[in-house]
Amino acid sequence: MRKSISWRKLVEKFRRLGFTGPFSGGKHLFMVKGKLRVRIPNPHGSDISRSLQAEILRQAGISHDEWNAP
């Protein structure tokens, strides 16, 4: 994880890792892989910070190496 990322790029990366969605779920959207459900931020004008990316990846059980793989 190098820097902030756009919402669209975040969704693309999750899809490449086998997640489906995003789906509406109350206040936040979420993506699903099997029984795992990961909340993602709602789309907005600014990029998603490194710290928020790290928290989302931790909740999803995705390593930094897996996330940064081409």
Domain membership of residue 62 (yes or no) is yes
61: left (phi over 0), alpha (psi -120 to 50) or beta: left
Is residue 51 domain-resident? yes
pLDDT in tens, the chain (70 residues): 568 899 999 999 999 999 999 999 788 899 999 999 999 998 887 899 999 999 999 999 999 899 888 7
Say what the pLDDT of residue 2 is: 63
Range(s) of the domain holding residue 14: 7-68
Answer whether residue 46 is part of any domain: yes
CA atoms within 13 A of residue 3's CA, in its CB half-sphere? 3
- CA 37, 22, 52, 15 dihedral sign is positive
Q: Is residue 2 part of a domain?
A: no
Confidence at residue 34, expressed as pLDDT on a 0 to 100 scale? 94
The predicted model scores a pTM of 0.87
Residue 19 · residue 29 · CB < 8 Å: no
Contact 38, 59 (CB under 8 A): yes
Q: What is the domain-level CATH number for residue 55? A: 3.30.920.30
pLDDT of 45: 78
